[in-house]
Amino acid sequence: MRILTQYLNKKIVAESDIILPETQYSLTSMLIIDINGAERACLSVRPDKDWPGYLKVQFKNKKRSYTQWYPVGDFKINNPQLAHLAKGATEPPPEVMGIVTKAAPRSVTDKMQKWETDLYIGIPVWISRGKGEGQVRTVIFNNNDTLTIDKEWEILPDETSQFIISYNVHNPQATGNTLAQSEIDSQVEKPKKKEGSKKKKI
């Protein structure tokens, strides 16, 4: 199963490379504005039924062929003259903000939900508040009220935790990254004592 790779710009979702012989580089291409705002030639743009809300864009140069997944909305804004290529693209599932009812090392449950089974496969879930805040994981499957994730929580969420299911996770993974206190102290300039600031006794 493919897992989406989130980048900080929230636009590149996944990419796979296949090395090809130079002799195969002779296909017709078209120009688009890519996900980074640059004009580029691509071979094809089509909806991807496996990733709702995304278009599958195929690129090729003299050395390799590769694919990028482009959000439908962004593609239409950047390439209005090619909007017809997005026809038939399905919408992504709705974003969710919820409160944790219970959690296990590889899952989180919200009893208030009534999700369609496997609706959120491949989408990030972010602990946005409470215990475990800042952790981001990827949903590998879900039932009506529980998300199963790709790897264990470092800090297990509890009933104080809130979560968000969304492709647009704005807070990058921070938990687990520590800076030794001695390094912090060495980078902080301590205020100097002012001379002559003592009051004279009368």
Tell me the per-residue pLDDT of 38-65, one tens digit each, with 9 for 90 and over: 898 899 999 987 777 889 999 987 888 8
Q: Looking at 45, 64, 86, which one is the last position of a domain?
A: 86
Residue 190 lies in a domain: no
Beta bridge partners of 146: 109
pLDDT at position 101 is 97
pLDDT for the residue numbered 77: 92
Q: What percent of the chain has pLDDT over 90?
A: 45
pLDDT band at residue 30 using 50, 70 and 90 as cut-offs: confident
How close are the terminal C-alpha atoms of the chain, in Å? 82
Position 28 confidence tier, pLDDT thresholds 50, 70, 90: low
Please tell me the pTM assigned to this model. 0.52
- Tokens 């800090």 identify what position? 155
Specify if 202 maps to a domain.
Answer: no
Tell which of 65, 86, 107 closes a domain. 86
Query: Does 82 lie in the same domain as 19?
Result: yes
Residue 143 is part of which domain span? Answer: 96-165
How many domains does the chain divide into? 2
Which regions of 3-52 does DSSP assign to beta strands (E)? Answer: 15-19, 30-33, 39-42, 44-47
Inside any domain, residue 124: yes
- Residues 10 and 167 sit within 8 Å (Cβ to Cβ): yes
pLDDT > 90? residue 135: yes
Residues 80 and 115 in one domain: no
Strands 54-60 and 64-71: what pairing?
antiparallel
> 28 with 73, same domain?
yes
